[in-house]
């Protein structure tokens, strides 16, 4: 029994730990890294079969700090039901949930069934070419997302959009990055 008795500075008779410290320890034990908290819903296993995760770029310039809201609008303008990706990794490495993982995405033509689409914001140079201009924070988040996907969907294959279509997307070689951590165009 973890009764709250006495003053915060008093010590627990059994452990000798001050109450205030004990409360702090208990809180720390339950504190998840923020990225995981943002991803909670996304990390719940989808109620459809998932065997592939596709990484995309938003094909926007590095200085464009856009996110779910803008991409959702662009995709609606194309006549889609809303954002085609399931997860957005913004320039600062934070995440935003896109389409519900229970619903097939609209991100890789012919490959949307059984897959999840993750988009990294960026990927376009100032002169409009493909450029691996993502931030370190974005790659750090992507690594965590990939790790979580592998845990959530054992046997899942993670790849770039370019691995199934004639496109430069996502502006870097995902398979090489997964293996070596190097970012190659």
User: Residue 73 or residue 109: which is nearer to Zn ion going by CB?
Assistant: 109
To Zn ion, the closest distance from the beta carbon of 84 in angstroms equals 9
To Zn ion, the closest distance from the beta carbon of 87 in angstroms equals 13
User: Residue 116 or residue 169: which is nearer to Zn ion going by CB?
Assistant: 169
User: Residue 19 or residue 149: which is nearer to Zn ion going by CB?
Assistant: 149
Q: Give, rounded to a whole angstrom, the gap between the first and last alpha carbons of the chain.
A: 58
To Zn ion, the closest distance from the beta carbon of 2 in angstroms equals 51
To Zn ion, the closest distance from the beta carbon of 182 in angstroms equals 20
Q: Which range touches Zn ion (CB under 5 A), out of 36-44, 54-62, 63-71, 150-158?
A: 54-62
On the CB side of 171, CA atoms within 13 Å amount to 23
**Dihedral of the alpha carbons of 64, 67, 73, 77, in degrees to the nearest 10:** 60
Q: How many residues does the chain have?
A: 185
Identify the DSSP state of 163: G
To Zn ion, the closest distance from the beta carbon of 22 in angstroms equals 50
Please name which of 142, 140, 146, 122 lies closest in space to residue 132, comparing C-alpha atoms: 122
**CA angle in degrees (0–180, nearest 5) for 31-146-167:** 145
Please name which of 99, 5, 23 lies closest in space to residue 54, comparing C-alpha atoms: 99
Interface residues for Zn ion in 55-94 (CB under 5 A)? 56
Q: Which range touches Zn ion (CB under 5 A), out of 17-25, 50-58, 63-71, 74-82?
A: 50-58
Interface residues for Zn ion in 134-173 (CB under 5 A)? 161, 169
Q: Which residues bind Zn ion (CB under 5 A)?
A: 56, 161, 169
């Amino acid at each position: 029994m973890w009764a709250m008795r006495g003053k915060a500075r008093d010590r627990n008779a059994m452990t000798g730990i001050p109450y205030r410290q004990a409360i702090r320890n208990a809180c720390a034990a339950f504190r998840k890294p923020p990225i995981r908290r943002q991803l909670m819903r996304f990390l719940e296993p989808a109620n459809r079969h998932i065997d592939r995760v596709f990484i995309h770029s938003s094909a926007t310039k590095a200085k464009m700090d856009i996110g779910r809201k803008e991409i959702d609008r662009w995709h609606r303008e194309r006549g889609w039901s809303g954002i085609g990706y399931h997860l957005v990794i913004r320039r600062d490495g934070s995440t935003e949930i896109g389409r519900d993982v229970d619903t097939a995405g609209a991100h890789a033509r012919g490959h949307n069934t059984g897959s999840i689409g993750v988009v990294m914001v960026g990927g376009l140079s100032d002169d409009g070419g493909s450029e691996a201009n993502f931030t370190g924070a974005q790659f750090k988040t992507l690594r965590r997302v990939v790790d979580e996907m592998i845990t959530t969907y054992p046997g899942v294959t993670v790849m770039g959009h370019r691995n199934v279509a004639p496109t430069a997307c996502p502006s870097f070689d995902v398979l090489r990055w997964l293996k070596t951590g190097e970012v190659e165009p």
